[in-house]
Amino acid sequence: MATRPDDRGSSVLRFAVELVAWVATPWALAGSSWLLAALSVVVLIGLPTCFSTPGDKSSVIVAVPGWVTILLVLLQLAAAVASSWLAWPAWAAAPVTLLAAATLVTERRRWRWLTSGDRLLA
């Protein structure tokens, strides 16, 4: 099994995008439905908390393969970018888009590791 890459730098970017998603998504949805706004926070925080790939986090509640973890990160990135453009002016949304793009670049090594073999340990 390959060693997990050092992702301290990319984890900072990833967490920053997650924070934006947690704020911008309910903000963008609040005008339509307070229920959807609340549900978005539950989904964006709850899914990555419950589902994780063994070896990627120290605490795994429900073990999933690496590609699921990658999809959850992509969900956060998409939510942050789309919601920031819907909820905020361009001068605030543009840096979010750049942050998400930088996160995509820095996540490549981690994603290669996540998909390098069977991460779902029995």
Q: What is the structure's pLDDT at 59?
A: 87
Please write the tens of the pLDDT for every residue from 93-114. 999 999 999 999 999 999 999 9
Nearest alpha-carbon partner for 21 in 42, 50, 52: 42
Tell me the residue type at 51.
Answer: F
Q: What is the structure's pLDDT at 119?
A: 46
> What CA–CA distances, in Å, run from 99 to 60, 73, 94, 121?
27, 13, 9, 32
Question: 79 and 97 in contact (C-beta within 8 Å)?
Answer: no
Q: What is the structure's pLDDT at 37?
A: 97
Residues of the chain short of pLDDT 50, as ranges, are 119-122
> What CA–CA distances, in Å, run from 111 to 7, 53, 69, 106?
10, 11, 9, 10
Other CB atoms within 10 Å distance of the CB of residue 58: 6
